[in-house]
């Protein structure tokens, strides 16, 4: 089975083609970073309009990259949620229209299931069951994964997601959008030990997260330094970035260790945009080595939103006979527990 995947949940337009036997045949991606940079964040209406402009040309480019025509496509997968409602409508409308015109089945894919399965795009892929840490700008979740569609969320953020906290703290430091990656680069020049940030909710039982307090702590630290220095020095910014990143990474690692001990699993999957953070990868790799387990990540190009993860997830479900009806059914909010399992 050969599936065209379309991702338009937020500020990246992704189109890919995945072949059940040959693997990934094409992967096209357009990012809207420059479009939203002047606003310091994603503007939903602008995002939707840009998806309208970019999706069809990217589909043509993907078919050309794969050396295929529309007649070679066996199914169409698209992100049905969660995400920005306007952006989701663009991708789902185009996908449903193509599927109808090409007389092939279509299926709406859960955006976070796409991220969760993204490590399967690598040759070194985890076996089931495993623990997944989904960590991005919109989500921070610990998920017990027994198979495709067999998901149990056992921990999640009660306020800001980790990636959102990264972006907000970066903005406080005067960094350009998108701030998370910029903050991580700045942290590499920081000194350890100058600032001590809290590790929220690690002093109590449970697997939930809270990162809004870290952002507030960073804001208070910045305000205090501004009163002392008049203007933050480059080193002070780097030291704050270092302390903030260290606190987030430590918090994620502590909760992952608890969840692994609770489930008894020895495999940990990290996915979502923040999974590209090098400090997080290094800390979790060291932790899993001590625990006698193994950690898995998506290939770097598949950490952020992309069409390949949607095409892959769609292939798995379409191959088992699952498909969506003709009516558009997008879900800006969509619990993973509602997804049907794939047997076998």
DSSP assignment of 16-48: EEEETTTEEEEEEEEE-HHHHHTTTS--HHHHH
Q: Is 138 annotated as a binding residue?
A: yes
Distance (Å, rounded) from C-alpha 241 to C-alpha 195? 10
pLDDT band at 40 (very low <50, low <70, confident <90, very high): confident
Could you give the angle at which helices 212-229 and 162-172 cross, rounded to 10 degrees?
A: 10
pLDDT (mean) for 246-251: 97
Per residue in 227-242, pLDDT tens? Answer: 988 889 999 999 999 9
How many CA atoms, within 13 angstroms, populate the side-chain half-sphere of residue 105?
15
pLDDT (mean) for 180-203: 95
Question: C-alpha dihedral over 154, 117, 9, 337, to 10 degrees?
Answer: -40
Distance (Å, rounded) from C-alpha 207 to C-alpha 116? 18
Distance (Å, rounded) from C-alpha 30 to C-alpha 40? 19
Q: Is 318 annotated as a binding residue?
A: no
What pLDDT score does 177 carry? 85
* For residue 126, pLDDT beyond 70: yes
Q: Is 134 annotated as a binding residue?
A: yes
Q: Is 277 annotated as a binding residue?
A: yes
User: What SS3 state is found at 344?
Assistant: coil
Residue with tokens 């198979």: 147
Residue 294: exposed, middle, or buried by beta-carbon count in 10 A (0-12, 13-18, 19+)?
Answer: middle
What pLDDT score does 15 carry? 98
Q: Is 292 annotated as a binding residue?
A: no
What is the percentage of the chain residues whose pLDDT exceeds 70? 100
Residue with tokens 């703290």: 169
| Cβ(308)–Cβ(314) below 8 Å | no
pLDDT (mean) for 188-206: 95
**Domains, the chain, ranges and CATH?**
2-117+302-338 (3.30.420.40), 125-297 (3.30.420.40)
Per residue in 259-303, pLDDT tens? Answer: 999 999 999 999 999 999 999 999 999 999 999 999 999 998 999
pLDDT band at 127 (very low <50, low <70, confident <90, very high): very high
* For residue 197, pLDDT beyond 80: yes
What pLDDT score does 329 carry? 87
What pLDDT score does 138 carry? 85
Q: Is 137 annotated as a binding residue?
A: yes
* For residue 150, pLDDT beyond 80: yes
Sign of CA dihedral 228, 229, 230, 231: negative
* For residue 54, pLDDT beyond 80: yes
Helix (H) / strand (E) containing 277: none
Helix (H) / strand (E) containing 321: none
* For residue 327, pLDDT beyond 90: no
Kind of pairing between the strands at 294-296 and 267-271: parallel
What pLDDT score does 1 carry? 96
What pLDDT score does 178 carry? 84
Q: Is 135 annotated as a binding residue?
A: yes
What pLDDT score does 106 carry? 97
Closest CA to 303 of 165, 118, 168: 118
* For residue 344, pLDDT beyond 70: no
Entry pTM? 0.95
């Amino acid at each position: 089975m050969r599936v065209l995947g379309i991702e338009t949940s937020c500020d990246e337009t992704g189109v890919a083609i995945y072949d059940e036997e040959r693997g990934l045949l094409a992967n096209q991606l357009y990012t809207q970073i420059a479009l939203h940079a002047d606003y310091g964040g994603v503007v939903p209406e602008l995002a939707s309009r840009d998806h309208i402009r970019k999706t069809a040309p990217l589909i043509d480019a993907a078919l050309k990259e794969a050396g295929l025509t529309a007649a070679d496509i066996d199914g169409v997968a698209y992100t049905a949620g969660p995400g920005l409602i306007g952006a989701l409508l663009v991708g789902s409308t185009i996908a449903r229209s193509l599927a109808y015109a090409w007389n092939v089945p279509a299926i709406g894919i859960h955006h976070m299931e796409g991220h969760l399965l993204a490590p399967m795009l690598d040759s070194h892929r985890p076996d089931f069951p495993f623990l997944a840490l989904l960590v991005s700008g919109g989500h921070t979740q610990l998920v017990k994964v027994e198979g495709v569609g067999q998901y149990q969320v056992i921990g999640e953020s009660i306020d800001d997601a980790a990636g959102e906290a990264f972006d907000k703290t970066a903005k406080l430091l005067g960094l350009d959008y998108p701030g998370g990656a910029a903050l991580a680069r700045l942290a590499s020049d920081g000194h350890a030990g100058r600032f001590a940030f809290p590790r929220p909710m690690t002093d109590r039982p449970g697997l939930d997260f809270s990162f809004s307090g870290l952002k507030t702590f960073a804001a208070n630290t910045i305000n205090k330094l501004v009163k002392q220095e008049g203007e933050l020095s480059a080193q002070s910014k780097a030291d704050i970035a270092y302390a903030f990143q260290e606190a987030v990474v430590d918090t994620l690692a502590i909760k992952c260790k608890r969840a692994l001990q609770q489930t008894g699993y020895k495999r940990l999957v990290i996915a979502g945009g923040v999974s590209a953070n090098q400090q997080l990868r290094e800390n979790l790799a060291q932790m899993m080595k001590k625990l006698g387990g193994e950690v898995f990540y998506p290939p770097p190009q598949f950490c952020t939103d992309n069409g390949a993860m949607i095409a892959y997830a769609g292939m798995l479900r379409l191959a088992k006979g699952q498909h969506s009806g003709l009516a558009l059914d997008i879900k800006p909010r969509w619990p993973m527990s509602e997804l049907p399992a794939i047997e076998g």
